[in-house]
Chains A and B, each alone.
Chain A
């Protein structure tokens, strides 16, 4: 099965799709204001007519390339290309200003690659095991995992956990529209026939993560983009420097993969955590932020290590690890494939095909970033006021192409406006997305579980795995509430 999976990717067409995806991903990742999430969402419609393994390989290339591409603008412009590369700016940009941009880029690229490969090894070994465990999961466990994921995202992704919960609840509420699970009676359709089937995930995603960006940029004065001059000789750094980073690398890779596995927490959080830990553990923490390579290594290793991590819950449980994997989930569903433990039994060849595609994407990423840096830097200078309108037309094509109906395009616009409004009120949009994905799982599994237990809620708590997950969930809520409360009283005392 493994060999068959590898072979399924080794065709000229699929390999060129992965290569193209990776290069485009780097472009999307490197242009500030255009994120990898947007890139994957825009290219999803292209995969409609492809074979599943080809389509998903393309998307994986975009994902890997995009996550790494953010470092280019972080170093050369001091603007993170993606949220995941915010911490790369801290030391990458000062290093570039000292005339060592080549070194910063070289280190970023190599450790992106290593971090990505590390997480793939974890993915390769952990996910089949987790899938076999998850095969025994029933309604109780799925319900608990759903609640756990949603709580974790709500409490972690914004400044205020109340706003996070509002966002999650809002996303959940959008899934009430359409047929209710199990009894299949329509609700909240307000007399619109198009709402009977509920809202599609793709227009929601495109609206929230791409269209809202246009409104964000409207009326903003765009700054002239002038990348810093650079030159790379070899890898741009010495072997001694490389060896000095081995513990930092390992720690950051473990943090990136580990945090990446947790549902809904993406590369941005991974790199912030890894950067923080690297600084704390360092012998010279005061130098962080002035251009030490340790900072770049921590940030770039961790954000790329989050890719393999985020794919673990997606492939084994059908729960996305971050925004981008949420779109990959939509990519699976477009081809009629539901990720989850059964994926490994029923579609083993596809699973190993995807693994192979991910490895290739990482290799293409390091090659094309070293070889094609001039091109990527050129594209950085393309002004956003020209790019964004074109992106919007692609959004329209994508939403329309899903079901060939205008209704989905209007849905996209609605969520674009909603996403923009939420940003204005500091409400994070990731919980909404997770709510929209996990809502039906939570509702269906609760009702299924209650049928099995004849209406008793008790087994959700007394079944060992489900009970443990629910208790952890409650602890997370209590901890966040306590933290919020403490912060408030501390502020009061200060004043």
Chain B
């Protein structure tokens, strides 16, 4: 059984029910035709149907004997998910501090640490990464703020 698709089916059905419940709170008045609740309810029904279809598809498929995964593969996946979580945490920190510290400091720090996360097994060249992060942060700032007049949070340096 494809557990992934089965779980997805259950999730999609739950999403449909949640949407239906949320749609009960919509204020609506429509003299003719359908109102503001029509499509949300239709979509929630759609989710339930599609989720059910997905589950039926999974159940109808004959069992396939899964290949045994060895321990090195498991360790690899774990490592991979660890770096994905690290990347998400880094971006969340970047966004949280952006308005107080400002773009230049935040992005330089972010680029530096994100390179370290992505470079995982390579030889870490800290000085090079540091130079790259400072230069690219300054260049993008000057380019976007001065030349293209896009607003960016300046923070404590502004």
**Which residue numbers of A lie inside 8 Å of B, CB to CB?**
45-46, 48-49, 160, 162-163, 165-166, 169, 172-173, 176, 180, 183, 185, 187-188, 211, 214-215, 217-222, 384-386, 388-390, 392-394, 396-397, 400-401, 404, 406, 409-410, 413, 416-417, 420, 425, 427, 439, 442-443, 446-447, 449-451, 453-455, 488, 491-492, 495
Cross-chain contact of A183 among B30, B119, B120, B132 (Cβ < 8 A): B30
Give the distance in Å from the alpha carbon of A400 to the alpha carbon of B120 in the complex.
29
Give the distance in Å from the alpha carbon of A61 to the alpha carbon of B153 in the complex.
29
Give the distance in Å from the alpha carbon of A379 to the alpha carbon of B119 in the complex.
18
B17 to chain A, nearest CB (A): 13
Give the distance in Å from the alpha carbon of A453 to the alpha carbon of B33 in the complex.
9
Cross-chain contact of A400 among B115, B119, B148, B152 (Cβ < 8 A): B152
The answer to whether A169 and B46 have CB atoms under 8 Å apart is yes
Interface size on B, residues (CB 8 A): 72
Q: With A166-B12, A385-B115, A413-B91 given, is the CB distance from A443 to B39 under 8 Å?
A: yes
The answer to whether B144 and A397 have CB atoms under 8 Å apart is yes
Which 6 residue pairs across A and B have the least CB separation, nearest first? Answer: A450-B33, A219-B80, A385-B118, A180-B36, A219-B83, A389-B114
Cross-chain contact of B117 among A48, A176, A218, A406 (Cβ < 8 A): A218
With a cutoff of 8 Å between Cβ atoms, the chain B residues found around residue A409 in the complex are 95, 98
The answer to whether B82 has its CB under 8 Å from any CB of chain A is yes
With a cutoff of 8 Å between Cβ atoms, the chain B residues found around residue A162 in the complex are 50, 53-54, 57
The answer to whether B157 has its CB under 8 Å from any CB of chain A is no
The answer to whether A397 and B140 have CB atoms under 8 Å apart is yes
The answer to whether A393 and B110 have CB atoms under 8 Å apart is yes
The answer to whether A165 and B54 have CB atoms under 8 Å apart is no
The answer to whether B150 has its CB under 8 Å from any CB of chain A is yes
With a cutoff of 8 Å between Cβ atoms, the chain B residues found around residue A404 in the complex are 151
- Produce 1/0 per residue, B56-82, CB < 8 A to A: 010011100000000000000001111
Give the distance in Å from the alpha carbon of A410 to the alpha carbon of B8 in the complex.
25
With a cutoff of 8 Å between Cβ atoms, the chain A residues found around residue B36 in the complex are 180, 183, 185, 187
**Which residue numbers of B lie inside 8 Å of A, CB to CB?**
4-5, 8, 12, 19, 22-23, 26-30, 32-40, 43, 46-47, 50-51, 53-54, 57, 60-62, 79-84, 86-88, 91-92, 94-95, 98-99, 103, 107, 110-111, 114-115, 117-122, 129, 132-133, 136-137, 140, 144, 148-153
A450 to chain B, nearest CB (A): 3
B139 to chain A, nearest CB (A): 9
With a cutoff of 8 Å between Cβ atoms, the chain A residues found around residue B110 in the complex are 389, 392-393
The answer to whether A401 and B19 have CB atoms under 8 Å apart is no
Q: With A49-B150, A488-B61 given, is the CB distance from A392 to B91 under 8 Å?
A: yes
Q: With A183-B36, A397-B152, A451-B33 given, is the CB distance from A488 to B57 under 8 Å?
A: yes
Cross-chain contact of A185 among B26, B40, B87, B95 (Cβ < 8 A): B26
B56 to chain A, nearest CB (A): 10
The answer to whether A454 and B87 have CB atoms under 8 Å apart is no
Q: Which residue of B lies closest to A214 (CB)?
A: B87
Cross-chain contact of B35 among A169, A183, A188, A413 (Cβ < 8 A): A183
Cross-chain contact of B80 among A220, A386, A446 (Cβ < 8 A): A220
Give the distance in Å from the alpha carbon of A48 to the alpha carbon of B84 in the complex.
32
Q: With A396-B94, A406-B99, A413-B95 given, is the CB distance from A219 to B79 under 8 Å?
A: yes
Give the distance in Å from the alpha carbon of A185 to the alpha carbon of B26 in the complex.
8
Give the distance in Å from the alpha carbon of A158 to the alpha carbon of B36 in the complex.
31
Q: With A49-B149, A187-B40, A389-B115 given, is the CB distance from A425 to B8 under 8 Å?
A: yes
Q: With A169-B50, A396-B98, A410-B95 given, is the CB distance from A217 to B118 under 8 Å?
A: yes
Report 18 cross-chain contacts, Cβ distance below 8 Å, ordered by A residue.
Answer: A48-B150, A162-B53, A172-B43, A173-B40, A176-B40, A185-B28, A187-B40, A217-B118, A218-B83, A218-B86, A385-B122, A389-B110, A393-B107, A393-B140, A442-B39, A446-B33, A447-B33, A447-B34
Cross-chain contact of A394 among B43, B98, B140 (Cβ < 8 A): B140
| Known contacts A166-B51, A385-B119, A417-B88; 4 further A-B pairs (Cβ under 8 A) | A389-B115, A416-B91, A442-B39, A451-B33
With a cutoff of 8 Å between Cβ atoms, the chain A residues found around residue B53 in the complex are 162
With a cutoff of 8 Å between Cβ atoms, the chain B residues found around residue A185 in the complex are 26-28, 36
With a cutoff of 8 Å between Cβ atoms, the chain A residues found around residue B118 in the complex are 217-218, 222, 384-385, 388-389
Q: With A172-B43, A187-B36, A218-B87 given, is the CB distance from A393 to B111 under 8 Å?
A: yes
Cross-chain contact of A454 among B22, B32, B149, B153 (Cβ < 8 A): B32
A487 to chain B, nearest CB (A): 11
The answer to whether A221 and B120 have CB atoms under 8 Å apart is yes
- Most B CB within 10 A of own CB, among A219, A410, A453: A219
